[in-house]
Amino acid sequence: MRRLPRPHRRDDRRARGGRPVTASPADTHCPYCALQCAMTLTPTPADGLPVSVEGRDFPTNRGGLCRKGWSSAELLTAPDRLVSPLLRGADGELHPASWDAALDLIADRIREIQDQSGRDAIGVFGGGGLTNEKAYQLGKFARIALRTSRIDYNGRFCMSSAAAAANRAFGIDRGLPFPLEDLDTAHTILMLGSNVGDTMPPFVSHLQGARARGGLIVVDPRRSTTARLTADGGGLHVQPVPGSDLALLLGLIHVVIAEALHDADYVTRRTSGFEALRRSVSMWWPERAEQVTGVPATDIRSLARRLAESASTYILTGRGVEQHADGTDTATAAINLALLLGLPGRPGSGYGTLTGQGNGQGGREHGQKSDQLPGYRRIDDPDARAHVAAVWGVDPSIIPGPGIPAVQLLQSSGRPGGIRALLVHGSNVVVSSPDVQSIRDALGRLDLLVVSDFFLSETARLADVVLPVLQWAEEEGTMTNLEGRVLRRRRALEPPAGARSELWIMAELARRLEAPGVWDLDPAVVFDELARASAGGLADYSGLSHALLDEGAAAHWPYPAGSTGTPRLFADRFAHADGSARLVAVRSRAPETPRGGELSLITGRLLEHYQSGTQTRRVAELEAAQPELVAQLHPATARARGLVEGGRVRLENARGAIEARVGVSGDIRPDTVFLPFHFPDASSANLLTSSRLDPISSMPEFKNAVVTATRVP
């Protein structure tokens, strides 16, 4: 039985540093990934930490947590926590300052820059870890306080291709259009480009049914933690050439159509575009797909038959197949395969994509994206503009039009017609961006860089102004997990005296800039405004409130007023006006491929670290487990280059060079090298990745680069 939230009474007990803590435990959710595991924080002032962490029974994690979740309380007492605004002085160093001095400087510089160069000279960069309330308010702040179109967020580096593919196929983008528990009874699960065994370990419990039936199929160039689950009769590990996932999917679709394995009745009743799709895959017979992917034609045929013949089949995609310049088309091909098999909307089957960041789903729904307004509305839709303007109390004409996506936004810094100032919230762009040296150079051209963070991240180190903000256990709000389930984040302790909520920061800046509208500081009130702004949109939250969520309601959006939410989408219709899904023909392109002694570089995550590592590299247990950058290479690859386990290797291409410790493993293809992307400065894997963009989603080419590998004496 789901436990109801506990009351939030406070008493005189103090955590380390004199911070008041809750008198009783607080039920909340993990600060890391989009699984949003439920946890309870209990005051423990005697053990050196302000709270202890206990996993809480919940449909996604069933009481389990990963190493990051169990150790998350250490972040709350990190010695380098920011507790005062910092201003860069004439000596080039950052110095403590008052809040009034910092905010007055920001407001004055914004006015000066916009008077000289126009509204769009100010940029805003958000994050997929912000609460729904802060993400919503940030979009509102950009549009009616700054009056700039130049806003985007780091979800552009995460979910943009999957979102674009879902929107054009289904008419709506929700990562998992079904509850995660539905996977428990699956006979077959095809996972493409996702390593949940490391990135969200409690997820693995939902794979056990398919694994027991021999139906877990993992597509990954590495034998990852998740791929290892297929051993001993648990399923199949498919190990394609890096960057060839689209060709593999086209080969599977060819077999499904050629052998009449598709659900013809479903395709006729519920989709359009079949004939064009059929023609587009006619040349992708399995033997040709084998030449491109390296996957044997016999495996392609048997895999297609397994997917079609299984009584319960799910297809899931992740960043490994989406973070490409053809990521939208690859995700589209996976959707095409699912639609041909009649999976979306069918009980016991489905298609979904695994959101990565903690609020990656909610963060892209309510206004941080360059082309969207709250409720997943298009910013160029006159009706959408009128609706949101009425909620904000402004004339629609003052809301700017579409902006530019993340990479273009950052690269425009200091360029003619580009931004001259940038406000960064919840993102560490000088670690997480592609071709990251070009982004570091771009930020150096700005007249003003303002970073809001709780640690001095690598991006904050470059800032002119740093604003200290609240951590996860110090704030109230909501998050939306990978199932589209809206969750309550609850405060367990008071923040340090000098830290402030982004809601307060935006309200203070809005007042100084004489912005219209209401800028409330109470997250519950901001959420109510978000709900009104989203009403009637694709991501409709209008029936939700903090009070309802505090009652323990299972809240999957769309959740219009008067409803009980939508845990399962597509049972009767898709979100296009005619109710049908779109089969969209796509073409494969040749990825960047190694020549001679070059290697394909792929990047990804480690069990112990998260995103840019700003948080996890400050947790002693996690840092000790993975203290430095390690390049994973096949034994034959290492041997040919004179590399040995524990030695040093230099990886290099036209964009940059890094050095890493050598890790030798038979779990990776001989033509491939793997780097985690959690490390900063000279160890950033993104010094080598490309800023080439998907033409539809503007997703950068994170997962396809070519490098040379040489021994460092």
The pLDDT confidence band at residue 211, using thresholds 50, 70 and 90, is very high
Per residue in 364-385, pLDDT (tens digit) is 999 999 999 999 999 999 999 9
- Domains, in order of start, for the chain: 10-77 (2.20.25.90), 86-158+377-392+403-521 (3.40.50.740), 162-353 (3.40.228.10), 599-712 (2.40.40.20)
What pLDDT score does 591 carry?
76
The Cα 280–Cα 687 span in angstroms is 36
Q: What is the pLDDT of residue 401?
A: 97
What pLDDT shows up at residue 67?
Answer: 95
| pTM for the full predicted model | 0.94
pLDDT at residue 13, rounded to an integer: 28
pLDDT tens digits along 305-322? 999 999 999 999 999 999
The yes-or-no verdict on residue 695 having pLDDT over 90 is yes
Predicted pLDDT at 15: 33
> How confident is residue 554, by pLDDT bands cut at 50, 70 and 90?
confident
Which pair of tokens denotes residue 324?
A: 């490409």
- Phi, psi dihedral angles at 52 (to 5 degrees): -100, 155
CB 419 within 8 A of CB 150: yes
Task: Give the pLDDT band (50/70/90) at residue 622.
Answer: very high
What's the length of the chain? 713
Tens digit of each residue's pLDDT (9 = 90 or more) over 144-192:
999 999 999 999 998 899 999 999 999 999 999 999 999 999 999 999 9
On the 0-12 / 13-18 / 19+ scale of CB atoms within 10 A, 653 is middle
pLDDT of residue 267 exceeding 50: yes
pLDDT score, position 46: 60
- Asked whether 189 and 314 are in contact (CB, 8 A), the reply is yes
Question: From CA 644, how far away is CA 627, in angstroms rounded?
Answer: 19
Tokens of 192: 């493409």
Q: Which of 700, 32, 608 is nearest to 359 (CA)?
A: 32
CA dihedral 537→541→542→543, nearest 10 degrees, is 140
pLDDT at 5: 33
Q: What is the pLDDT of residue 2?
A: 27
Stretch 198-216: mean pLDDT = 96
How far apart, in whole angstroms, are the C-alpha atoms of residue 418 and residue 672? 37
3-class secondary structure, 625: helix
Q: Identify the weakest region by mean pLDDT among 130-134, 447-451, 608-612, 647-651.
A: 608-612
DSSP letter for each residue of 635-696: HHHHHHTT--TT-EEEEEETTEEEEEEEEE-TTB-TTEEEEES---GGG-GGGSSEEEE-TT
Please check the confidence at residue 9 and state whether its pLDDT lies above 60: no
Average pLDDT, the chain: 94
pLDDT at 669: 95
Lowest model confidence (mean pLDDT) among 48-52, 241-245, 278-282:
48-52
